[in-house]
Structure formats: C-alpha cells, structure tokens
Structure 1
Amino acid sequence: MNFQPPSLRLGANTVVSATCIIALLHFGREVLEPLALALILSLVLAPLVRSVTRIGLARMPAVLLSVALVSTFLTGVGAVLATQLVTITRDLPQYRSAIRTKVAKVREVVERPISRIEAELSAVAPSGTVEPVRPRRGGVNLAVTAANTATSAPVPVEVRTPRTMKDTLGRIVGLVWGPIGEAGVVLILLVFILLEQGSLRDRLVRLAGQAEVSRTIRTLGDAAQGVSRFFFSQFIVNATFGAAIGLSLWLVGVPHAVLWGVLSGVLRFVPYLGVLLAGAIIAVFVAAIDPGWSLAVTCMAMFLAFEVVLANFIEPKVYGHSSGLSPLAVIVSALFWGALWGPVGLLLSTPLTLCLVVAGRHVRALAPITILLGDAPNMSDAERFHQRVLAGEADELTKDAQAYVRRFSFARYCDHVLLPGLRMAVSDLGAGTIDKLQQDRMRAVIANIAETVASASESGSRTRRKAVPLLDANIGAHLRQMREARFGRWQGSLDVPSGSIVLCAGLPSERDEFLTELLVRALREAEVDARSIVAGAPQERPEPAHPGLVSTVFITYPRQDNIEEWLLAVAELRADLPEALMVTVLLPYDEQLPKRALVEEHVDMILRSFEEGLAFVAPDRAAQANGAPARMRAA
C-alpha cells in the first residue's frame, strides 16, 4: 500500500454510512443478489473466456460457448441430484420404521442420565418443598371433565373442493418458477457482463478519475485474479472431496452414493457449515438404512478422516494464500452475508468479502476491512518484531528467527528484521514511551535471539539453549563475553592459515559493540572465522606476532559525535594490520552520521548491509544462503 492505513475510530458519519449501506443491502436484496451472483460468476468465467478467445473465436461466440459449457455442467449436476432425490422420496417409507426406532434409542440414551440426575436432586431436596397437587382416586379430575365437555361440543364441518390437475400443476409451476426465473436473470446478466467486460472496466476507471487510473486497474486485476484463483482451487478440492466420499460410500454399500458425493462437494462451498450439514445428512440416512450402528459409525469415521486430511494437509498446499482471508473472517463473513441474503449470501460470502479485502489494499476508505479481515495484518517483519520484543515474547521471536535463518541467513535477518525493528524501539525510547521493564525485556530477548539462533549453526548443536537472563551491561559486551568463555581470549586458535581471520572492530560504546557482535555471528554462521575486538583498547590489540592472519577488518561506521575517536582507532588498526582490507558498513537507518567523503578517505570500502559484508568475505556461502543456483555462484 502506498498510504498509511487509517485509524479505526468510529465517528457519527462512519456509523451512519455503514448503517445505510447495510440497509441498502438488506432491502435491495432482490436486485443485488442476482447482480452479485453474475459479477462473481463473470470473474470466475473470465479465464475460460480468455482461453477460448485464444483459439481464434470472437468475443461473443467465446462468451456464449463458455456460458453454455458451464450451464450444461450445472444442469447435469442438478438433474443427477433431482433424480436421486426422487428415488429417495420413493424409498423413504421403508426407512420410516428404522428412523423411529433409532430416534427412540437415542432419546432413551440421552434422557436416562438426565432422569437419574433429576431423581438424585429430588432425593436431596428440602422437605419443605411443596408437592404439586394431584387428583385422588375418588376425586374429580377437572382436566378429564373439561375434555369430556369439549368433546361433547359440535364439531364444525368444512367442505373442500377436490383439487384438480390444473391446481396441482399451478402449484408446481409456482414453486419452481422462482428459482428458475432467478437463474434466468443471473444467466442474462452474466452474458452481458462478460460481453461488456472491457467497457465496464473503462467506466469504472472513468468513475474513479484520471488520477486514480493505475490504482483502479490494479484493484480490478487483483480482485479478478484472487477470486478466479480461489474458486478454481476450491472447485478442484471440493470435487475431489465429493468424488472420494461418493466412492467410499459406494464401496461400503450405501445406496444413492452419487447423490451423497455430489451433495458433499456442493455443500462444501458453504464455509464450515456446509461440511457439517453434509455429514449430518449422510449420518441420518445411513442410520436409517442400517439396523445397527456399525455402518453409520464407519461412514462418519470415513467422512471425518477425509475432511481432516483435506482441511489440514491438502487445502493449505492447494490454496496457499489464494483466499486472502483469515479463518475468523471467513466465519464472520458467512454470518453477515447469510443473515442478509440467506443461502445465496452463504455461498457468496467468501468471494464478496475477498473483493472488499483486495479493494482495501488500494482504497483508503476500505483499508480497515483489509486490516481486520485479511489473512495477515499489513505489517512488515520488522514491525512485528518491534511489537513482540516490547511484549517480551522471547519464545515466539526465537522460533520466527530460527525459521527465517533456516530459509535465508542470519545476516539477512539482521538487515531486514532485527536492526530495523530495534531502530523503531530506539525511536520509542527517545520519545519516552518505553519503561524500564520493557527495556530489560528487550535486552534479554535480543541477546537470547543472537545467542540461540546464530550460535546453533556455529556450534553444530540443535539442542535448546537456556534463556539469557536480564542484562545489566550492554548486549554486545554480554555476547562477546559468552563467546570468549567458550573459545578463549582470542575467540579461537591462532594456529590457522594466513589470511583466514576476519576481524570485526568497534568503539567502546553500546551501539558499536552490539553491531560488531551481530556481524561476527552473521559471519560465523556462514563458517567464516570472524572475531571481534574493542578498537582503541590496548589489551585487545591484535597479536603482534601474527599480523598476517587477518585478511579483512570490519569497523563500525562512525557517528558524528565520535568521529575523532574513530579516526584514531582506524589509524591504529592500519598500523597493526597493514595488509588487511579496511571495510565499514553504512546501515541505511543510522542517523547523525558524518559525511561519506570523510569516511571514504580512511577505509578501502563502504558496504550497505551485513549481507554485502557476508558476500564480500564469503561469496559462495552468501549466494547459497540467498538461494542462488550453484552455476550462478560459480560464475
């Protein structure tokens, strides 16, 4: 999005506008329902029409052929359903006794515990409870007397004219004409929308204004692509589900298996509720045809197994993010559109809401809908890190960091997540919005991430490390002390090949030591022998007997307030390591920096990120971490 999302404050104008829109949707249902159906179907059929036009047909024949193919398919499915339903209606009387027996058994099983609980409660009830008055044997039963009096009254006689064939046909036509007429209206609208698709897009662009041409076209394209992809994926998945259910029921000997398979596939288009309804219908029917319960339990177990596998393993791979809606948004949209438009609203709830969510990515007024109902908030990884680090969610941040590093590298994680997120926290700290407890949480979480995530590949251990306690000193010094405790003063052996060590140096400040330690761990994760020192400290100057071991020195970029100290440290490093390259990293979100020309005079190279530093000293490892093919790395 090219704009910041608006706040979700509800004013009087917003409430009135929303109320008017909902009232318009409710009272304009008869007009808006077929129009919405036709628009959604036009988005679904648009790829088919384009495919047909590619073979050489003109626009009108392509539209008519596509609509005819889809109408034929839907008519065939409807004919199968109608035939099977007629057969079930004819066979229903023979299942009536079995249904009554099963209902009686279920009622007995359900009522028996309730009756027992009621008896136990009555036994411990207080003795002063007033018992209901019951008529004695010799008494007069007022209810029976009233009933006898009522039966002695004259019964009115109603004369009915016998129903003719004409009346019966009229009732049937009246019953069927409504859905057929609505389907005809939708079909006509669909044809004209497909024929005038280009013209309608031009009109919408013209309506939005010339200044919004790019955004309007992008919104229409995203909505069409999202709805088409979602419906195609959903059709494939639901058709597979219906075929699997029908075949399984046929194999176990359930009559009308084709009907139940088609019904399961069709009802699954209704979010969540459709699957429950299909399962309930199949369970009731199987319980009616089987004297026992084994067949019903078997069928329900198969149904649940197919649904669990489909919902948890197949759908996430097939759909991906094609729906663009969160699971809660699907339920809420189904309730909203179902309450407004009934069954048609349930069927259209997901695509209609999806269109609103897509439009909210480009239209400012609809941005709150995208934020509330989208599959993920419009938030970067750095912003998510900033919020979680303030909340002290160490475990969640560590898991996210480990997943990110497994996919890319720790250097990339520092560049795109950790350091930008910390820059936001530093801004909050400068504004005084972060208290002492949140500062301690931040230090502990950041140190835990750097120690746990970056050290996992360095040590080759996949075991879970202990959480880092709250830090009193700066994080960089803490991390360096932990590494020195494992590897010694020089953080490793000095008996290594010449030019194999990369030295990371920084001034004795919390900023420089932290950046230095992050860079060391990013390089060591890529199997680079990286070590760190505090520049300007005499006890930490490189070993004078081994100056040729260091090939590259990374020194933190200076700030305006310590430029003189930085220049002195660079001069000392030059004197101690005359053959090493001097490199610094200018991070794009750093502030209060000296002019670049002043720094360039004293270093050999200025890089822009930790990833560039990794690529500079270990190009093969950097290319592998970023997913580049081996052939490109070799080139």
Structure 2
Amino acid sequence: MRKQNNKPGLLQPEAQPPRPHHWKPEKSAASWVKRDIETQNIVRVMAGFVISAVIIAALYFGQDVLIPLALAILLAFLLEPLVSRLKKWGLPQLPSIAIVMIFTISVLAGLGSYLGFQLKDLSQELPQYQDTIQQKLNTVKSLTSGPSAWDGAKTTFDTVESSFEGINQVEQEKGVQNVKVVGLEQSPSDAAMEWGSKILSPIATIGIVFLFVVLILISRKDLHDRLLRLLGGNLNIGTDVLDEAGQRIGTYLRMQLLVNVTYGIPMAAGLWFIGVPAAIMWGMLAVVLRFVPYVGPIISAVFPLTLAFAVDPGWNMFLWTLGLILLLELISNNIIEPWLYGESTGLTTLSIILAATFWTLIWGPIGLILSTPLTACLLVLSHYIPALGFVKVLIGSAPVLSPPERFYQRLVADEVHDALDVANAYIQQELPKKTNEEALVRKINNFYDEVAIPAICLFSQVHNTEASAEHRLRMHQGLKRFNHEFQQQYPLQTELNNPKVMCLGARWEVDVLASAMLAHGLNLKKIAACSHADALIQSRSDVLSAVPESTDIICITIFHQQPMAQIRLLNHRIRTLKPQIKLVFALLGNQSTHLRDEIERLFQPEAVVNSVNELMLNMDMLLMAQGENPAAALMHDNEAERLQALHELDLLQSELLPIYSQYIEEARQAFDVKYAQISLVDAGQVHTPASPLAEAVESPIHAAQRREESICTHLVYQNEALVIEDIQRDPRFRQYPHLARQKIRFYAGVPIQSKQGLAIGSLCILDKQVRQMSEEDLDLLKALALDLQETLSSERLRKQKLEEILRLGQPDLSQAVVTDS
C-alpha cells in the first residue's frame, strides 16, 4: 500500500478505482475533430462520384436533345463574329442574323449540291475502272503467292481449319443439322417507312440545330446573363469564365477552319495536277472531315488514294497521291497547326485523346467532333471553381509545378541533366531573337533569383523534417554538379583578375553552393568575384585568410530562418580581422522586412539583401566611383537613331494633351494607383506631359524631369517592362529627390516604342505604398501602351493628311477630315 503524502500545502490525489483490463483512454477533442474531417472528406469524395455518375447518365440518355444543342452552340460561336460585324456596320440585330443564316445555309446547300453531282458523275465512271482494279489485285496476289517466311504458319492454320471442318461433317452425319431462322419478309410500306426515318431523322436534326442557332444568336445577351447567375453572385468571375470560354472555343474553331482550308486547297490543286478525278470534291471533303479528330484525316485520305489506285493502270498516280497527302500532313501538323493554334485550347495531347474517347463512347461520332470544345469549356471552369481544381491538373497544358519546384524535384531525383533543361528553358523563354550579352546575363541572374534560390529555400525548409538522408545527399551532390555544368555552359567571356567581391557561405553547404551562384552571376556582370568551397562557421580551415588582398566587399549568404546569431558572430569576426572591408548580408532564406531593418540598425552593414537582383544592384552602387550617377551611362549605340525617331513623331504638341490625359486617367483608375505617367526620354531630359509629378512645369505638355533622375531612363535603356515593388530597397532610385518628396514607393512601367521597335518613352504607374504586379496586370499595362502607340500613330497620319490637303488646296476640307477619321 502506498504511503500518503501528508506534507502541508500539497493537494492529495483522489483515490481512483482500479481500471479494467479492457480500459482505453478517452479520445481527445482534437482526435474527434480529425476523425470528423476525414469522414467529411470521404463523404465529399463519394458525393463527387455519385454526381459524376448522374451527369454521365444524363449525357448518355439525353443525347437526342443535348447533341443538337451542343452543335448549335458550336455553330453559334462561329457565326457570332459575323453578326457582330454587321451590327457594327449599322444593321439591326434581326436583319444581321437573317443575312448570316441565309448566307450559311446557302453555302452549305451549294456545297452539298456540288458534292452530290460529283458523286453521281463518279459513280457512273467507276464501272470503267473494274479491269484496272482486277489487274492490280492480280499483280498484288502474284507477288504474295510465292514462298515466304509465313508459309509454315499458313500450313498449320489450314490443317487446323480442315480438322474442324471434318468434325462438323461427322456431326452432320450423326444427325446434327444447322437450323437457320428465317423471319417474315418486310413489306414495301415498312421498308419505305424505315428508309424515310433514316432520311428524315438527319434532316430533322439539322433543322433543330439551325433553330437553336437562331434562338441563341437572338437571345445571346439574355443567355449570357442567365449563365452568369448560374455561376454564382460574383459577376467579375462569371464574366471572366464566359469570356475565356468563348475566346478559347471561338479561337479554336476559327483556327481549325483555317487549318483545314490551308490543307484542303493545296490538296485539291495537287490532286487536279496529278489527274485524280473529282479533285475539288476531295479537297472540300478534306476541309469538312478534318473537323473530326484523328479519324477525319484518315477518311479524307482513303478516298483519293482508292480512286488513284483504281484509275491508273500503273502505280504512278497512287504513289504521287500518297506523297502529296504525306507532305501536306507533315506541313499541317508540324508548321501550320503549331503556328495557328498556339495555346488556344490549353489542353494536353493526352487529355485530347482521352476526351475524344470519352465523348465518342457517350455520343458517338458527333461526340468525337465536340470533344475538344466541350473539354476546353470544362478546363475553363476548373480555373475558377475550386471544386474542379483537379480537372486543371489532369487535363491542362500549363505546368502543375512551378519552375522552382521542378528544379528542386529534378535535383532530388538525381536528374541533373533535367535540372539543366529546366534552367535553359527558363533562360531562353522570352529572350529576344537578337539576344545581346547584357540581356542574357540579366536572364541568367533572373534564373538564380526566381528558380534556383527559391528551390534551395524549399530544400532548407524541409531539411530536418521531410527530407531523408538520401534526399539530402542527392541535393548536395546535384547542386555541385549543376553549378559545375551550368557555369561551363555559360562561361565568362573575358577573364577577370583581382576579385573585388568575395562570396562566402555562412554555416552549411547550401550556403556555400548558393554563394558560388552569386559569384558566377557577378562575374557575368563584369564584376570580378570569387567564392570559397568551405563555410565560415564550423569549418576546419580559416576561410577569411583566403580572402584576396584586392577584395573590397564580402558577401555572406545565409539560408537560416533565424540568422541573427550567425550574423552577430560573423560581423564581430570580420570587423575584427578585416575592418576595412565592406560587408553585405544576403538573407536568401528569410524575406522579413523587420529582420532586415533590425540587422541594419544593430550591425550597420553596407547592405542587407533578400534577392539576387537586389544584390547585383547594390554591388553596382558600392563599386561605383564616388559621385558617379548610374543613369549617365545608360545609352545604347543606336541612341542617335532613337532620338531621331522620337523627334520625327513630334509628340510634344498641345493637340495631344487630351490623349495623354485620357490614358493617364485610364491607367490610374484601372490599377487603382495614386499616379500614372507618360514619359518621353529625350537627350537631356524626360518629358512627362500632363503629369502631376513633373519637377519644372512650363505648361502641361512641356512638363519635364532630369534624365539622370528618372526611372524611365533605365526602362528605355532595357527596352522591356520594369517593376520596382519597393523603391526604398532599390539603391538606384531611393535617393531620387522628387520620388522622396512625393513618397513614391512603387513603380511599374512598360516601353512606348516606335515602328522600328525603339523605345522612345514609357507608360508607368506609381504609388505611395509597396505593391506587387501580377503577370495579368503587366499584360494589361502593355496592352494599354500598345493602344496608346496606335492612337498616336493614327493622330500623326491624320495630321499629315490634313497638312497635305491644306498644301494642295482641297476645297472640301471637312469632308476630307471625316473620311480620314
């Protein structure tokens, strides 16, 4: 028996009854919650299967109604642009629809009549080719009748077949007789009704389809509103869904029609030149049949090949026809289709094949025709409905892993060459055709910044949790091999001596490998740099003693989530041993702004950076001569040509001020920013017409800034979009006085170009708070700048024509201006 604890001030435990042998502790509330979540997930999955089964059953049993409706929607997508064009020309809606439908029916009826007459003539000529066909078949038979390697198998097959025939004969002798059931003969009236149903059923379906098309075109806006309501209360998302679905399907159908026409016309011309009868009919049939995926092209090729085989006593016509079809298929599949389609559907090849199989099983041949548009609609819905997110993963052509994730996975899988492919694909993406060295270097550093370093961050986050010892070994070895091969693939163009920057890893091997990447990026930028194979902390060698005498800056790479202790130790050691060297900390594993501010306040290094791009900019500023302005050297060799293009456009005219004000206000409202600006970069200054941020304002059209203190100078020099999420973190611009006075923190601009592609200015947005710019928003800003370019070009042409009219003394001036506009 236990002794009681009788010490004062202590609570005595209550006596508890003995536990039975089958006793188990009660489950906690967290375990019950977890079990409920798992049950809900199972129920949700089962409900999804049931709903899918119901939808598939409805599609199968309701095909008599759904197929004409789907065909009508497909045809409406093709015809709607024609109706819209007629309405823009001033015709009312109903006459526009009537004209388009009459034109469509007339074209289809004319093509059908032509095909009918051609088939009639061809059927009358076919008996003439019987002798030719028989002669060729006899030739083929004689070629295959001789001894071959398959004679033994054929003899065995014949023996087995004879044995079965003998057994059947024995059974018949024993009294076993084959019974053939003969039904009642069909009466003439029944036969007529059967043929009538076969003929009238397609005609009725076609009539229903055209009726649906007319109704869809008439009530298009009403149907649009009803679909918006079905998609939920968010009108913005619903509008995006319908617009994207309509754009994808309409683009796919128009491109498919264009591809088919570019195949059918050369096919008809080639067959006519070869001498195949009814060549135009086979070209038209190819245009129609190629709307049927996979099967259509085969059928369209069989008919002319068969006819060429039957017509020509020799083999020349058949071989020429076969060569023509193969050549057209190669050109269409490898040149025309990739050029015209692009990413019109967003579907992978495998998903298109699976969709064709599914819809063919559900709806037959019509389902095969509709498979790609219907699957494209499903893909669009998956982008906006979270419950259909798995569909986007399964059938979408967009990569499901981001570039950093793909890079990380390839290294963990010990596939270094595939990791190199990821790197090269990223670097070559969106590079200009005439790539200069500077653009290539910028793209390589962007790869380090946006792919390699984030991949290392992913690895560092799971280093002690999810990654096994084998994963860590593969990652370390893979990064070493990748660095070696990647730096050999993109070597230095000139040898750099006396390194000015030493890149060192703080504590572990990932820091060291990342520092080698930074050194490579700096060397490509013509900044002499080197790295060391050991880390500063926990290294057996004295790394600091290996720092060259020419070094001005030490850059320390750290991936630790809590790097303050490492920074305190390294800062003290380096300041003590090498007090004259500038110190930069690259916190690539931590993006905390508060941590950066704390490090700058406590240790006062020359810079604390979070990205490769920020590091490169700070290195430029730290190594720059005292008082030198980085914008002063931003001039291309074609600067004189660029300035000439700017002056020829004559954009500083007071008549253009309303246009500038309009686009500035549109950009400001669209992106919800404080300011927007149009900049025209001249030789000594940057003109900013109608801008409220201009320094010296003579008039709204002649407002200007100093060229060396304008961000747009850098944008024009790069001739590509420039986004600065936080100007205070960019050493190039944080000292610009007018930006500091206006407290501008965010900048995003795109170039305004001449017809020759020379950047003459920019359209930019600015704000007083730190922001991010998505790819969609940047594309919209580019589209707005392109629209501004076209407007300015149209205005210039209008002015030139007006001046020409005045010079020639045109009497009816107003009519000439109206005609031009």
TM-score of the alignment, normalized to the shorter chain, above 0.5: yes
> Residue 268 of structure 2 contacts residue 282 of structure 2 at CA under 8 Å; is this kept in 1?
yes
Alpha-carbon distance, 1:84 to partner: 1.7
Structure 2 counterpart of 1:19, from 53, 61, 66: 53
Whether 1:350 and 2:356 are equivalent positions in the alignment is no
> Residue 268 of structure 2 contacts residue 283 of structure 2 at CA under 8 Å; is this kept in 1?
yes
Relative distance call for 1:631 and 1:276 in structure 2 (3 A) is closer
Distance across 1 between alignment mates of 2:43 and 2:487: 42
Q: 2:9 corresponds to which residue?
A: none
Distance across 1 between alignment mates of 2:566 and 2:590: 14
Relative distance call for 1:570 and 1:15 in structure 2 (3 A) is same
Alpha-carbon distance, 1:143 to partner: 12
Q: 1:31 corresponds to which residue?
A: 65
Structure 1 counterpart of 2:219, from 196, 203, 208: 196
Alpha-carbon distance, 1:597 to partner: 2.1
Alpha-carbon distance, 1:574 to partner: 7.2
Relative distance call for 1:564 and 1:613 in structure 2 (3 A) is closer
Whether 1:563 and 2:586 are equivalent positions in the alignment is no
Q: 2:483 corresponds to which residue?
A: 450
Q: 1:481 corresponds to which residue?
A: none
1:36-67 deviation per Cα after TM superposition (whole angstroms, max 9, x unaligned):
11122223333333333222233333333333
Map 1:366-515 to 2 at 5 A.
366-406=388-428, 407=431, 409-431=443-465, 433-459=466-492, 493-494=497-498, 501-515=500-514
Distance across 1 between alignment mates of 2:314 and 2:482: 59
Alpha-carbon distance, 1:228 to partner: 1.0
The secondary structure found in structure 2 opposite 1:528 is coil
Alpha-carbon distance, 1:338 to partner: 1.4
Structure 2 counterpart of 1:83, from 117, 121, 124: 117
Relative distance call for 1:220 and 1:594 in structure 2 (3 A) is closer
Alpha-carbon distance, 1:24 to partner: 0.9
Relative distance call for 1:292 and 1:47 in structure 2 (3 A) is same
Distance across 2 between alignment mates of 1:130 and 1:320: 55
Alpha-carbon distance, 1:311 to partner: 0.8
Alpha-carbon distance, 1:286 to partner: 1.2
Whether 1:260 and 2:282 are equivalent positions in the alignment is yes
Alpha-carbon distance, 1:232 to partner: 1.2
1:321-363 deviation per Cα after TM superposition (whole angstroms, max 9, x unaligned):
1121111111111111112212211111111111111111111
When the two chains are superposed, the root-mean-square deviation of aligned CA atoms in Å is 4.0
Alpha-carbon distance, 1:254 to partner: 0.8
Alpha-carbon distance, 1:173 to partner: 5.6
> Residue 271 of structure 1 contacts residue 330 of structure 1 at CA under 8 Å; is this kept in 2?
no
1:592-617 deviation per Cα after TM superposition (whole angstroms, max 9, x unaligned):
99722222231344444212333455
Distance across 1 between alignment mates of 2:317 and 2:478: 55
> Residue 555 of structure 1 contacts residue 583 of structure 1 at CA under 8 Å; is this kept in 2?
yes
The secondary structure found in structure 2 opposite 1:176 is helix
Larger helix fraction of residues: 1
Relative distance call for 1:362 and 1:574 in structure 2 (3 A) is farther
Relative distance call for 1:405 and 1:309 in structure 2 (3 A) is same
Q: 2:339 corresponds to which residue?
A: 317
Q: 2:614 corresponds to which residue?
A: 612
Distance across 1 between alignment mates of 2:451 and 2:564: 25
> Residue 563 of structure 1 contacts residue 594 of structure 1 at CA under 8 Å; is this kept in 2?
no
Alpha-carbon distance, 1:186 to partner: 1.0
Relative distance call for 1:538 and 1:360 in structure 2 (3 A) is closer
Alpha-carbon distance, 1:508 to partner: 4.7
Residue identity matched to 1:91? E
Which range is displaced more, 40-49 or 18-27? 40-49
Alpha-carbon distance, 1:442 to partner: 1.8
Q: 1:596 corresponds to which residue?
A: 596
> Residue 505 of structure 1 contacts residue 556 of structure 1 at CA under 8 Å; is this kept in 2?
yes
Residue identity matched to 1:493? N
Relative distance call for 1:71 and 1:503 in structure 2 (3 A) is farther
Distance across 1 between alignment mates of 2:400 and 2:592: 30
The secondary structure found in structure 2 opposite 1:395 is helix
Alpha-carbon distance, 1:293 to partner: 2.2
Which range is displaced more, 621-630 or 17-26? 621-630
Percent identity of equivalent pairs:
28
Q: 1:245 corresponds to which residue?
A: 267
Q: How many residues align?
A: 565
Whether 1:539 and 2:545 are equivalent positions in the alignment is yes
Residue identity matched to 1:575? P
> Residue 402 of structure 1 contacts residue 453 of structure 1 at CA under 8 Å; is this kept in 2?
no
Whether 1:329 and 2:348 are equivalent positions in the alignment is no
Residue identity matched to 1:41? L
Structure 1 counterpart of 2:98, from 61, 64, 69: 64
Residue identity matched to 2:219? E
Distance across 2 between alignment mates of 1:634 and 1:337: 52
Map 1:108-257 to 2 at 5 A.
109=143, 113=148, 116-118=151-153, 132=163, 174-210=197-233, 212-257=234-279
1:204-246 deviation per Cα after TM superposition (whole angstroms, max 9, x unaligned):
2222332x33322211111111111111111111110011111
TM-score, length basis structure 1 = 0.78
The secondary structure found in structure 2 opposite 1:190 is helix
Relative distance call for 1:172 and 1:131 in structure 2 (3 A) is closer
> Residue 385 of structure 1 contacts residue 397 of structure 1 at CA under 8 Å; is this kept in 2?
yes
Relative distance call for 1:614 and 1:30 in structure 2 (3 A) is same
The higher relative CO (CA closer than 8 Å, separation ≥ 6) is in 1
Alpha-carbon distance, 1:300 to partner: 0.9
Structure 1 counterpart of 2:82, from 32, 48, 65: 48
Relative distance call for 1:102 and 1:617 in structure 2 (3 A) is farther
Alpha-carbon distance, 1:144 to partner: 12
Map 1:237-316 to 2 at 5 A.
237-316=259-338
Distance across 1 between alignment mates of 2:401 and 2:529: 34
Distance across 1 between alignment mates of 2:422 and 2:595: 37
Alpha-carbon distance, 1:75 to partner: 2.9
Q: 2:741 corresponds to which residue?
A: none
Alpha-carbon distance, 1:80 to partner: 2.6
The secondary structure found in structure 2 opposite 1:595 is helix
> Residue 407 of structure 2 contacts residue 422 of structure 2 at CA under 8 Å; is this kept in 1?
no
Q: 1:576 corresponds to which residue?
A: 580
> Residue 454 of structure 1 contacts residue 525 of structure 1 at CA under 8 Å; is this kept in 2?
no
Distance across 1 between alignment mates of 2:516 and 2:368: 55
1:293-316 deviation per Cα after TM superposition (whole angstroms, max 9, x unaligned):
221122112101210122122211
Distance across 1 between alignment mates of 2:369 and 2:345: 14
Distance across 1 between alignment mates of 2:354 and 2:161: 48
Q: 1:360 corresponds to which residue?
A: 382
Unaligned runs of 5+ in 1: 1-5, 136-140, 151-155, 462-486, 495-499
TM-score, length basis structure 2 = 0.61
Distance across 2 between alignment mates of 1:41 and 1:247: 28
Residue identity matched to 1:422? I
Residue identity matched to 1:201? H
Q: 1:465 corresponds to which residue?
A: none
Residue identity matched to 1:539? S
> Residue 8 of structure 1 contacts residue 368 of structure 1 at CA under 8 Å; is this kept in 2?
no
Q: 2:785 corresponds to which residue?
A: none
Alpha-carbon distance, 1:248 to partner: 0.7
Alpha-carbon distance, 1:398 to partner: 0.9
> Residue 260 of structure 2 contacts residue 288 of structure 2 at CA under 8 Å; is this kept in 1?
yes
> Residue 410 of structure 1 contacts residue 454 of structure 1 at CA under 8 Å; is this kept in 2?
no
Which range is displaced more, 218-227 or 290-299? 290-299
Alpha-carbon distance, 1:285 to partner: 1.7
The secondary structure found in structure 1 opposite 2:490 is helix
Residue identity matched to 2:531? S
Unaligned runs of 5+ in 2: 1-39, 432-439, 537-541, 621-629, 637-713, 722-750, 752-756, 763-821
Relative distance call for 1:7 and 1:144 in structure 2 (3 A) is closer
